[in-house]
Chains A and B, each alone.
Chain A
Amino acid sequence: MGSVKKITTIAVLVTLALVLHVVEALIPIPYIVPGFKLGLANIVTVTALYLFGFSETLLIVLLRTFFGALLTGAVSSFFYSVVGGIFSLIVMFLVSRHLDKFVSLTGVSVMGAVAHNIGQLLVAGIIINTFGVFSYLPFLLLSAIATGYFVGLVSRVLLGYINGRWVT
């Protein structure tokens, strides 16, 4: 992939993540667990990881969390997003790199969702100085399976589209 095409693709993916971020904030989600989110922006992280590699995806994660915080004005949640996003990226990178024979995009994305939740609980635990927040962990783990599975499915479709028709 040429460098202009690459820069453009990264920019489009960041924009896509920001749009998903805003759209997700508009969807009313029934209250299940504190901190429960669909994590639609993770679709972009998974897709970028398979499309490029670790460093480009890290750039996308940093850009989307930074601009996402500016866009929604939720600056206090910036640290959760950034730590959760990087944590999830590292785990997905390791799983996709080392367990590629056994694990498909779906498993990678589920592990990413799990890591995202654990990363956010860690930040919350450090900020309020109590690791009692981990009592939410079982519910967040179960929801991570569902959201991770969904994110994996959408990423697969998106990757197929990008590889087939847009970026050669």
Chain B
Amino acid sequence: MKIGDKIIIILVILGALASYFYFHLQAAPAEEMVARIEVNNRLYKRINLKDVEEPYQIKISQEGGRYNIIRVEQGRIRMSDANCPNKLGVQVGWLSRPGEMAVCLPHRVVITIEAGEREPEVDGVAY
């Protein structure tokens, strides 16, 4: 191993740490937590997870017998089953923090947790 190899490995580790802090530690628990389900890049449903009282399931069926089952509980949501080949979206498990996401690429189903969005405040008004 030459010196450059070690530098590359250290830089990649630093990059991993930096992106970890950027993507995962920034997200603070919000007062309202909204899960967003998208199918084919279009909004399918928005669910405020804080308002869920009884757990329930949603089944998204698409042509060709493709389906995704989504389980919703208070404060968390997950893709509980899908008949896509590798089931990556299912393996992600429960989502409960803003910014987390479960993706089923073959069916183009995406669940994300939005950070509580606030209305942008007005800086100034001129007449």
Interface residues of A (CB under 8 A from B): 31, 34-35, 74, 76, 99, 101-104, 106-107, 110-111, 114, 124, 127-130, 132-135, 137-139, 141-142, 144-145, 149
Contact = CB atoms under 8 A, between A and B. Distances in A.
* Interface size grouping (class) on chain B: 20 to 34
A69 to B, nearest CB: 13
Nearest to B14: A141
Given A102-B2, A138-B24, A107 B8 contact: yes
B105 A124 contact: yes
A80 to B, nearest CB: 9
B108 interface: yes
Contacts of B91: 31, 34
Contacts of A111: 8
Contacts of B38: 128, 130
B13 A145 contact: yes
Contacts of A139: 16
Given A102-B3, A110-B8, A128 B23 contact: no
A138 B17 contact: yes
A140 to B, nearest CB: 8
B41 to A, nearest CB: 5
Given A137-B19, A145-B12, A128 B4 contact: no
A110 B101 contact: no
A68 to B, nearest CB: 15
Nearest to A74: B85
Given A103-B5, A110-B8, A135 B99 contact: yes
Contacts of B85: 74
Contacts of B92: 34
A129 B5 contact: no
A142 B16 CA distance: 6
B64 to A, nearest CB: 13
A107 B4 contact: yes
B108 A132 contact: no
Interface in B57-87: 85
B122 interface: no
Contacts of A31: 91
Contacts of B29: none
A138 to B, nearest CB: 4
B8 to A, nearest CB: 4
B105 A110 contact: no
A34 B20 CA distance: 15
B15 interface: yes
